[in-house]
Amino acid sequence: MGFFLTIEGCEGAGKTTAKGVVLHWLNANGHDVIETREPGGTPLAEQLRGLVLARHDETVTDTAELLMVFAARSQNLSQRVEPALAEGKVVVCDRFTDATYAYQGGGRGIDEHCIAILEQLVQGDRRPDMTLLLDIEPELGLARARGRAIEQGGILDRIERETIEFFHRVRQVYLARAERFPHQYVVIDGSQSIPEVEAHIIKALQCRLL
């Protein structure tokens, strides 16, 4: 019933670009699709996203950050994801709980068993059917993300300002999870050109959804 597809990767890996390719292919092949993102996806979850990414005068504890991403996830799941899957739709979600393992687990150092407890509480048995992981050296991804932020006159969010070591730990957790869950993950080299990345994404979609 339905198909739950998530897109993951470090900053600037090309997730937004990949999402465009995925949505275009799914629509062209007659699938009924909704898109969402995490943290976010509902008005309340988007407010939580704002809190997670904003820079604050007061220190945000790692635990508070973890609870905010799961609070947003609970809203997104109950209001958007589960109803769409129940109607047989394909749900395309820009980041999901693999990001929590990578950022709060790898990046912040929170014990993965604590994350697993919240995952079970919030999601029950719901897991992605397929995860496209855009893998990239953090130096290249951050250069892209920071370049775009400068182009758009924006400022870096609270997480984008983390150290390069933080993003190396994030990447290592993503790669470890891809090895552990090969039925779920498709790893795509995000340092390739956009047409090359696009070709790999389409091949992966054809394998699972044609």
Nearer to ligand T5A, 19 or 89 (CB): 19
| Single-letter amino acid, residue 208 | R
Name the residue nearer to ligand T5A (CB basis): 69 or 92.
Answer: 69
Rounded to a whole number, what is the largest CA-CA distance in the chain? 50
Among 5, 36, 38, 115, binds ligand T5A (CB under 6 A): 38
Between CA 182 and CA 77 the distance in angstroms is 24
Q: Using N-to-C axis directions, what is the helix angle for 43-53 and 62-76, rounded to 10°?
A: 160
| 17 touches ligand T5A by CB under 6 A | yes
Stretch touching ligand T5A by CB under 6 A, among 10-18, 28-36, 54-62, 173-181:
10-18
Residues that bind ligand T5A (rule: CB under 6 A) add up to a total of 25
Distance (Å, whole) CA 89 – CA 2 = 5
Q: Is 79 in the site for ligand T5A (CB under 6 A)?
A: no
Measured over the CA atoms of residue 159, residue 165, residue 170 and residue 171, the dihedral's sign is positive
Residues in the site for ligand T5A, rule: CB under 6 A?
A: 9, 11-17, 38-39, 69, 94-95, 99-100, 103-104, 144-145, 148, 159, 192-194, 197
